[in-house]
Amino acid sequence: MDKKSITGLLLIGAILIGWMVLSQPSAEELAKRREQFVSDSIAQYKTDEKIKSETITKVEKPAVVAGIPVALLRDSTGKVNDSLQTLLKKQVYGGFVDATNGDTKTILLENELMKVSISPKGGRITSVELKKYKTFDQKPLILFDADSSTQNLTIKAFGKEFATDSLFFTPEGTSFNIKGAESKSISMRLYAGDKAKYIEYIYSLTGNEYMMGFRINTVGMQNIISTNGSITMNWGMKTPTQEHNIRNQQMASTIYFKYPTENVDRISESTYEKLPMEFPVKWIGFKQQFFTSVIIADNTFNKETSIETVSQTSSKYVKEYRAAISIPYTNPTESIGMRMYFGPNHFATLKKYDLELEKQINLGWKIFGWLNRFLTIPIFNFLDSFDLNYGIIILILTIILKLLLLPIAYKTILSSAKMRVLKPEIDELNEKHKNDDPIKKQQATMALYKSAGVNPMAGCIPVLLQMPILIALFNFFPASIELRQQSFLWAHDLSTYDSVWNFGNIPVIHSIYGDHMSLFALLMTASTLLYTWSNSQLMGTSNQMPGMKWMMYLMPIMFLGFMNSYSAGLSWYYFLANMITFGQTWVIQKFVIDHDALHAKLQENKKKPVKQSKFQQKLEEMTKQRQEIGKKK
């Protein structure tokens, strides 16, 4: 990486930024696009209404319905009477025709943690409110509502195929105790002509659980529903905007699923696709940034199940999820057990169900996730038990992690100190061999390091050992629901960005930096620049590799655009980590390491015989070969 390479990278970056700025549509173009979108939407609506009207006309005005002339089924004003409507419904719903009318009053199942609304129409859950949480603007937190969700069975009965969400279920409720905890149970029955034939949903809820029971029973369905091996349950929802930053919600929201004998998998957060299941599936989770809705089979759902994520153009919703769940059905009298989890993405809460639901929390890949599970989370939960402010918890957590890493940090600083005391001799070698072959200069430098007993790579290895924790925490803080809506200093919510100045949508700035200024992100960037500068001064490398030096200063500034819209808790941690590292380095360099004694020890090492390494031997061979080629030329 020389000066030309650095310059090239900077030019490429400048071209990309310039292209994004120049290609951004103007305010006039955006206004025209909005007007065109509204115009197209109105035109499409009118077209749909016309088609709907023509369809209704065709349905309501047939010549004969069920062998009866229409003229006999209309009143004196020509309006279709109830008899014709009943016949039309019977043609569609067969023996379920009596369920086309019913009571629309919503039924509530409620415990200490949530409020579940169930509608007789469709017998479905129409909304779930989590009582201990609020949205970013302090409104009740609703996971989904009636207008943004679906739950129905697609069944074939009496030779017809239809969905149950257009029919009315009859509610029957009971309350009883299970292991000392009050449990409320609601039975919703869809009758097929008489009380001995029905499809039943049973919902049950205990007092202090986010998990609710759900069972589908079929009774007396012989000669009504074909026992072809499965029934399809359609389950879907549009997830509402609940947090301050919709972009961060989109990056953390997707569908997760679990095969019984496989690891938890998901559709990528950055893609929208329809995915068929390869095997029978244990559970399917509609994950939002901090909350999730999961349907869990007592056994498994059939492999014919499919899931799908759909993008949303409205700022009201983050994403849309759809699942066509194939439920085993081989007996006219069947009972299919399930559970539904509606609650927070809290690691301990999800883990207690022993279903790997906690793996919906993205704690990082492989080693990074393990570090968070077995190191960060236990320490964090221990500190949380003292009921401290979360900004203080992050401070203490940072100090603990830095103390654990102190031996590694000391090795890094010691290696740098050895390089520093050898710097005058390295400068002499560089001057001596400035006109020689670069390999020869490198060979002489490596010989000096070898004779002094210094490994130039020794400082890199400890740094690499610290990187997994650094990256693990990059995943931990944005995924921690504990930080959600927790204030600290000027930040109102440590799970999202803090803002000390909202300057609006300025086209050139918005595409690079955003529409606000995060003070924690600025402090993190300033501390990184301070540490970079102090490190180059203390280690005596301020004059080496000037191109790389400027890259080290440029990278934190470029990273600021990303951190400006990220978790304030993460920026606070990085700021603390930088300042503690700066303090550690200064104290160890000034008061722990005796540079004169270290220099004397290195000089003493030079007097000892040195065994040449294979790497040095290789360098010598390469130098000789190049010298011979040069002589021949």
Helix or strand run (H / E) with residue 22:
helix 3-23
**Can you give the pLDDT at residue 571?**
93
CB-based contacts of 550, cutoff 8 Å, min separation 6? 6
What's the residue count for the chain? 633
The neighbour count for residue 528, using CB atoms within 10 Å, is: 22
Rounded CA-CA distance 549/532 in Å is 9
Q: Is the pLDDT of residue 50 over 60?
A: no
Percentage of residues in the chain having pLDDT higher than 70: 75
Rounded CA-CA distance 561/548 in Å is 21
**Can you give the pLDDT at residue 176?**
40
Rounded CA-CA distance 369/377 in Å is 10
Q: Which residues pair with 228 in a beta bridge?
A: none
The residue-averaged pLDDT of 24-38 equals 60
Query: In the structure, what pLDDT confidence band is assigned to residue 343 with cuts at 50, 70 and 90?
Result: very high
DSSP 532-550: HHHHHHHTT-TTS-HHHHH
Q: For 42-56, 97-111, 227-241, 599-613, which range has the lowest pLDDT when averaged over its residues?
A: 42-56
The answer to whether 97 touches 86, Cβ cutoff 8 Å, is yes
Q: Is the pLDDT of residue 623 over 70?
A: no
Q: Which residues pair with 322 in a beta bridge?
A: 236, 308
**Can you give the pLDDT at residue 376?**
93
The residue-averaged pLDDT of 2-6 equals 63
Q: Is the pLDDT of residue 226 over 60?
A: yes
pLDDT tens digits, 531-568: 888 777 655 554 455 556 677 778 888 888 888 888 99
pLDDT tens digits, 454-506: 776 665 666 677 788 888 988 999 899 999 999 999 999 999 999 898 887 77
Structure-model confidence comparison of residues 180 and 310, the more confident one = 310
The residue-averaged pLDDT of 243-251 equals 90
Q: Is the pLDDT of residue 151 over 90?
A: yes
Q: Which residues pair with 256 in a beta bridge?
A: 266, 285
Q: Is the pLDDT of residue 2 over 70?
A: no
Residue ranges with strand state E in 99-195:
107-110, 114-118, 125-134, 140-142, 149-157, 160-163, 170-178, 181-191
Q: Which residues of 63-72 are buried (b: 16+ CB within 10 A; e: fewer)?
A: eebeeeeeee
pLDDT tens digits, 180-206: 445 688 999 999 888 888 999 999 998
pLDDT tens digits, 272-309: 999 999 999 999 999 999 999 999 999 999 999 999 99
**Can you give the pLDDT at residue 383?**
95
CA 242 to chain centre: 14
Structure-model confidence comparison of residues 319 and 559, the more confident one = 319
Give the chain's mean pLDDT.
81
The residue-averaged pLDDT of 387-414 equals 91
Residue 406's nearest CA partner among 262, 574, 584 is: 584
Rounded CA-CA distance 485/495 in Å is 7
Instruction: For the chain, report the end-to-end CA distance as a whole number of angstroms.
Output: 29
**Can you give the pLDDT at residue 182?**
54
The answer to whether 456 touches 450, Cβ cutoff 8 Å, is no
Structure-model confidence comparison of residues 126 and 622, the more confident one = 126
Q: For 133-137, 362-366, 486-490, which range has the lowest pLDDT when averaged over its residues?
A: 362-366
Q: Is the pLDDT of residue 346 over 90?
A: yes
CB-based contacts of 364, cutoff 8 Å, min separation 6? 371, 372, 471, 472, 474, 475, 476
Rounded CA-CA distance 391/480 in Å is 13
Q: For 319-323, 397-401, 432-436, which range has the lowest pLDDT when averaged over its residues?
A: 432-436
Q: Amino acid letter at 294?
A: V
Q: Is the pLDDT of residue 55 over 50?
A: no
Distances (CA, A) of 262 to 257, 277, 278, 360, 463: 10, 12, 11, 14, 35
**Can you give the pLDDT at residue 566?**
86
Residue 349's nearest CA partner among 248, 208, 250 is: 208
Query: In the structure, what pLDDT confidence band is assigned to residue 216 with cuts at 50, 70 and 90?
Result: very high
The neighbour count for residue 102, using CB atoms within 10 Å, is: 15
Q: Is the pLDDT of residue 76 over 60?
A: no
Query: In the structure, what pLDDT confidence band is assigned to residue 163 with cuts at 50, 70 and 90?
Result: confident
Query: In the structure, what pLDDT confidence band is assigned to residue 412 with cuts at 50, 70 and 90?
Result: confident
The answer to whether 555 touches 534, Cβ cutoff 8 Å, is no
Residue with tokens 């006999």: 72
**Can you give the pLDDT at residue 253?**
95
Query: In the structure, what pLDDT confidence band is assigned to residue 178 with cuts at 50, 70 and 90?
Result: very low
Domains of the chain and any CATH numbers: 89-362 (2.70.98.90), 369-491+567-606 (no CATH)
Q: Is the pLDDT of residue 59 over 50?
A: no
Q: What pTM does this model have?
A: 0.77
24 phi/psi in degrees, rounded to 5? -70, 130
The residue-averaged pLDDT of 213-230 equals 83
**Can you give the pLDDT at residue 570?**
92
Q: For 40-49, 330-339, 591-600, 601-610, which range has the lowest pLDDT when averaged over its residues?
A: 40-49
